[in-house]
Structure 1
Amino acid sequence: MTSSLPVVIGMGGINAAGRTSFHQGFRRIVIDKINAQAREETFVGLASLMKLVTLKGSQLVDQQGEIVAANEVEAKFGQQIIAGTLIRKIEKNHFDVDATHWHQKMHVRPIDKTITFELRAKELPHPLPHAWQVTDLGAGKVSVEIPEHLTISHDAYRDNPIKAAGQMPTGFEPGALYNSRYQPRGLQATIFAATDAIRSTGIEWDAILDKISPDQVGTYSASVVGQMQQEGLGGLLKSRLSGSRVSTKQLALGLNTMSTDFINAYVTGNVGTTFSSSGACATFLYNLRSAVQDMQAGRIRVAVVGSAEAPVTQEVIEGFGNMSALANEEGLKKLDKSDKANHRRTSRPFGENCGFTIGEGAQFVVLMDDALAMEMGAKVMASVADVFVNADGYKKSITAPGPGNYITMAKSVALAQTIVGKESLQQRSFILAHGSSTPQNRVTESLIYDRIATSFDITNWPVAAPKAFVGHTIGPASGDQMAMALGVFSDNIMPGVTTIDKVADDVHNNRLNIATEHWHCEDMDVAFINSKGFGGNNATAVVLSAKVTLAMMAKRYGEQAMQDYQQKLTLVEQAQDTYRQRANQGEFDIIYKFGEGLLDENSIDITDDSLSFNEFKHKIGLPTTNPFDDMV
């Protein structure tokens, strides 16, 4: 029995490196290794994203209204673009790391017999403390005398020990691109990322729905921390304590399923599968696994898969910081023997390091089964053979690493060898490491790779680590790894860990190639996307290159079918190029259908074998056979 092959036909999103579609973010990371044309396109795209230039008519103009030619963008804005992307000092649109707001407790005692003050009568607490003596002063004011000590909280500011994060490019505000209606930043990024992914396919969403039953679509997504901004759980938790009211939206918008729900309700109008799974740092892969399994089983034919997270808040950073998980100022100064921390190099996977760096982002892929991809002429970027998930078993600490990642990596490498063969595995595969930049991770993760490499006789195994550049985005972190994998497949550039001077001495590096500079590689066949999540949430995905995927499809469908596919692909690539040019000029055509295209429930035609909707071309079939007929 053959399985459908889940093909990646589009990817979109945003992180500290920029837009994901057409490898803009990847090319920002390896900017010094790409050719002149790609470099110019990358700078133009980032300048538009960061609002340094805008499209006026058919020309780019800067903020002063002066025309800027594409080949002038780097000279005029290059340093600003470089400084405003990747990991950097936390910008004040998040919070002020040099003067972080908090409430300081003060224990006030009377100097004489009482503490005396005046206030408006309506500001008195309820119930009134029994020792307070209140005198009415008229005009709505009262005098209060307190004959005992009083504990109060007062606005204060502190120097935050953690000052760097992987932030979306300076000036980019996803909520400004559509009517975001006071939505949390993570959900704003979701709308942008899902749009970017769908637009990048070069195929209109309605054209896909015309080919399949509407229940053959799936959306798979989640966040981990939830939406911790004021508009979400952050506001819900602190509103009353800070003297504000809880809104009607904060609880609902804070749920970690909301990225899935927003895509269904406002982007795709999906009535098929909806799924949200949180697996700590492996969340993207957990959702990818469910989509891949559903597609291989024939339950869905198209999927939007991803994750979104906006954790650059003082509360989330303090939470991780108090666990000693994040790189802080003192630790970085000590590593560099300097009196000043280097905020560009806070994340140092597999080098001498002192903790990870938080990041924000949203990453989504569009999957399509191979038969439908052939029929529609979809552009093949890669395919996902499988995703393996295993836990760690008994452990002393919930955050400690364990054996589960040995299982996921070993299964993945073994599967890849059965598909592409030993030579391809040994010479043309690479790893997108979890690479969190903690002292414990660099030892434990490298040991796994080294032992797996020994077992499969792999030497000089390339290892890349996206978190060195974009930080740890938590839920979408393995989506950042997927974006880098697709970039390597496309451009044949292997990113080095350029934030370290050398690989740490305790890293198990005998069979690994952890470079400290970017380097040109040959065509790669297989990428292993690995994630070691808090709590024992281990996952590894086997991603096959476009070259390998197309060869597999040619074997399954034959030469004539591939020729027909290539003819359809020409039109798709033209549509992709149109979106690519518009996106590079800051025109993203955001999909946000708030209150649009609502289905008329009263018009649903229901029979004993199907449901029909006026809004969809194809019916939804109902089960008509007993899957357990051998048991009844």
Structure 2
Amino acid sequence: MANFLPLIVGFGGYNAAGRSSGYRSYERMILESLAADQRQQTVESLSHLMGIPGADEQQVLDGTLVRQVESGFFNVNNTPQGKRITLQADEQKPAKFVIAGKDLPHPLPDHWTAEPLDEGGKRYQILIDSDQTLTLSCTSKMPVQAAGQLPSGFNPGSHYRSQNHPRGLQMSILAASDAVKSMGVDWQEAARHVSPDAIAVYSSSVMTQLDSTGFGGMMQARQLATRVTSKQLAMGLNTMPADFVNAYVLGSVGATGGITGACATFLYNLRQGVDEIRSGRRKIVVVGASEAPIIPEVMDGYSAMSALATDADLLKLDGLHSSETPNHRRASRPFGENCGFTLAESSQFVVLMADDLAIKLGAQVYGAVPGVYVNADGHKKSISAPGAGNYITMAKAVALARTLLGDDALRQRSFVHAHGSSTPQNRITESRIFDEVAKAFGIESWPVAAVKSYLGHSLGPASGDQLVASLGTFAYGYVPGIKTIDSVASDVYADRLQISKTDIEMGVEGCDIAFLNSKGFGGNNATATVLSPRVLEGFLSKRYSNVQMRAFRQRQEQSAQVAANYQAKADKAQLEPIYAFGTDLIDEDSIIISHNSISLPGYEQPITLGDDEGFSF
């Protein structure tokens, strides 16, 4: 029996370019190529999202994409930092200071003597008769000051009751809601047609939730003399972007999980969803990733690996004096002369649906993912160094496209979304892989996009950023150029690649296949093959009868109108995310179990029991 094709019937999210649904974040990246009226609509939509409706275009543009870290995160020139100092003293001349009684540590540190200054013990004089190392709270200037932040003024937590939610989970709620509403099919209506067990959610974060409401606050509590809350540990888990979507957006009791693979995390989750739909095990899978890593400690960690573009190195690249200010908007320069990547925040989700169910529901079809390939590097000298695995994933993904659509489509109507991290090592190794694969398959001028030049590197969701940009290319016909570079670096293998500083116009009919490539620390390589709606028209027409296709298109008109109504509201920042906290709880006393099924109250279809899982004894 033929596999079910995983169709992309919804997509949504938020990154430095804005909202993903309705192609808005993609439009921000190709703004120069848009017609005047479309450009105005994009800017107006962003202005509402930023809370400054009617703002002039330049103000909107300045508040999007990669830029200097804004004060809403922390002050990059005065970032809190602990500094160790030594108080020098001896028995003849002890160091002295006064402390409130309530702050007196118990037990007293060695070499401390506490003398009360009043009868109530409200104040004590401390004498220290030996050198003592203390930690002083002070500030310092961050060596890395650029990041891919959500649009200025956009606060995801303000759009729903988000108390105590880490930023990454706030973004998950909004992004998953955006994806579900972009379907144009009510979620409850879609879920009604399938068993509750035929739905799945796969989403995660790489760095977990490290801000003060997650692991970050928990791990720092003792050193900062604060209390650990009851929520910090649970909220910090890297599976929470899936758990939150199940519990508060979808109300799903189906399969769930959070797969991580460093920078390839989104594609790892996508692979799981694609495989489950192809096999028929699931009918609907929501796939995503969410990351909010713009905090000093995470930036310090990547800086210690010499992975990030520092201000000092950016100044050297541009031949500027150390007293000058670097161009933070050009911090990320894939395949050009560069010095490191730029951290970013993002949350991206897509809704995958088996083709038979999509036909039945009249769902929107934005694309399809026939395959995602994952391979490791083998033995390595360094855990962070690239290796052989990406050759395998790229070759497999390209070979799949050739098998499905032929040489002409591959050579003339495909493009690549590079990992494009903006490190000197990546520009050499990844371009060489592309060049070798292009040579093997007879590709002479392969368009290459690298959206991290606009968005920065969002770690787990990075390939989600690539995917939603690819869907934009299918709809508009433009591959985003790499506009932050002066020229392609001399050590890039570019003979068979088309790397452009301006948008590449392929035309809607010239964009049939996208390849999403990701290279992660530890040898986590993944490449996905994505097909355009134009290609899928022919596939679906072959698989389904004329009567079925006519009914499908009629239902699609209705779902398209519903989706358009949502987009119109979202363009006014009326996001209304789905957040069902504590509602529609399952009455466990009403669960009915038999030898061949289990029925849950509130779910129309039962879950069948007794599958032999393909085994025969």
Scaled to the shorter chain, the TM-score interval is over 0.9
- 1:239 pairs, out of 221, 243, 267, with 221
Counterpart of 1:121 in structure 2 is 101
- 1:591 pairs, out of 572, 578, 587, with 578
Quote the Cα distance in structure 2 between the aligned partners of 1:390 and 1:483. Answer: 23
2:67–2:147 CA contact under 8 A, matched in 1: yes
2:27–2:34 CA contact under 8 A, matched in 1: yes
Quote the Cα distance in structure 2 between the aligned partners of 1:619 and 1:254. Answer: 34
SS of the counterpart of 1:155? strand
SS of the counterpart of 2:218? helix
1:380–1:550 CA contact under 8 A, matched in 2: no
Q: How does 1:419-430 map to 2 (within 5 A)?
A: 419-430=404-415
Counterpart of 1:549 in structure 2 is 536
- Give the drift of 1:41: 1.6
2:206–2:265 CA contact under 8 A, matched in 1: yes
- 1:569 pairs, out of 551, 556, 564, with 556
Counterpart of 2:6 in structure 1 is 6
- 1:381 pairs, out of 356, 366, 378, with 366
Counterpart of 1:336 in structure 2 is 318
Quote the Cα distance in structure 1 between the aligned partners of 2:563 and 2:613. Answer: 44
- Give the drift of 1:108: 1.0
Counterpart of 2:25 in structure 1 is 25
Q: How does 1:154-553 map to 2 (within 5 A)?
A: 154-339=136-321, 340-522=325-507, 523=509, 524-553=511-540
Quote the Cα distance in structure 1 between the aligned partners of 2:404 and 2:506. Answer: 22
- Give the drift of 1:246: 0.9
Q: Which amino acid aligns with 1:91?
A: E
Select between 550-559 and 359-368 the one with higher mean Cα deviation.
550-559
1:232–1:254 CA contact under 8 A, matched in 2: yes
Counterpart of 1:35 in structure 2 is 35
Q: Which amino acid aligns with 1:174?
A: P
Quote the Cα distance in structure 1 between the aligned partners of 2:494 and 2:223. Answer: 51
Select between 418-427 and 515-524 the one with higher mean Cα deviation.
515-524
User: Which deviations, in whole Å up to 9, do the C-alpha atoms of 1:608-627 show, x marking residues without a partner?
Assistant: 00011220111110015473
- Give the drift of 1:136: 2.1
Counterpart of 2:46 in structure 1 is 46
Quote the Cα distance in structure 2 between the aligned partners of 1:106 and 1:135. Answer: 24
Quote the Cα distance in structure 1 between the aligned partners of 2:160 and 2:437. Answer: 47
Q: Which amino acid aligns with 1:369?
A: A
Quote the Cα distance in structure 1 between the aligned partners of 2:41 and 2:284. Answer: 30
Are residues 1:139 and 2:117 paired? no
- Give the drift of 1:519: 2.7
Quote the Cα distance in structure 1 between the aligned partners of 2:212 and 2:252. Answer: 29
SS of the counterpart of 2:56? helix
Are residues 1:603 and 2:590 paired? yes
Quote the Cα distance in structure 2 between the aligned partners of 1:87 and 1:52. Answer: 19
Identity %: 47
SS of the counterpart of 1:241? coil
Q: How does 1:68-107 map to 2 (within 5 A)?
A: 73=54, 76-107=55-86
Quote the Cα distance in structure 1 between the aligned partners of 2:164 and 2:613. Answer: 48
SS of the counterpart of 2:243? helix
2:174–2:577 CA contact under 8 A, matched in 1: yes
1:389–1:408 CA contact under 8 A, matched in 2: yes
SS of the counterpart of 1:409? helix
Quote the Cα distance in structure 2 between the aligned partners of 1:86 and 1:221. Answer: 24
Quote the Cα distance in structure 1 between the aligned partners of 2:74 and 2:102. Answer: 32
2:160–2:576 CA contact under 8 A, matched in 1: no
2:164–2:231 CA contact under 8 A, matched in 1: no
- Give the drift of 1:297: 0.7
Quote the Cα distance in structure 2 between the aligned partners of 1:203 and 1:561. Answer: 18
Quote the Cα distance in structure 1 between the aligned partners of 2:590 and 2:37. Answer: 53
- Give the drift of 1:549: 1.4
Are residues 1:614 and 2:609 paired? no
Select between 9-18 and 136-145 the one with higher mean Cα deviation.
136-145
Quote the Cα distance in structure 2 between the aligned partners of 1:562 and 1:242. Answer: 63
Counterpart of 1:628 in structure 2 is 615
User: Which deviations, in whole Å up to 9, do the C-alpha atoms of 1:72-101 show, x marking residues without a partner?
Assistant: x4xx42111000000000001111111111
Q: What value does the CA root-mean-square deviation take over the aligned residues? A: 1.0
Q: Any unmatched runs of 5+ in structure 2?
A: none
User: Which deviations, in whole Å up to 9, do the C-alpha atoms of 1:49-80 show, x marking residues without a partner?
Assistant: 00112xxxxxxxxxxxxxxxxxxx4xx42111
SS of the counterpart of 1:408? helix
Quote the Cα distance in structure 2 between the aligned partners of 1:230 and 1:131. Answer: 34
Counterpart of 1:66 in structure 2 is none
2:447–2:504 CA contact under 8 A, matched in 1: no
- Give the drift of 1:228: 1.0
TM-score (norm 2): 0.97
Quote the Cα distance in structure 1 between the aligned partners of 2:432 and 2:168. Answer: 34
User: Which deviations, in whole Å up to 9, do the C-alpha atoms of 1:483-539 show, x marking residues without a partner?
Assistant: 110011010011110000100000000000000111321221100000001110000
- Give the drift of 1:36: 2.4
SS of the counterpart of 1:325? coil
Select between 342-351 and 117-126 the one with higher mean Cα deviation.
117-126
SS of the counterpart of 2:84? strand
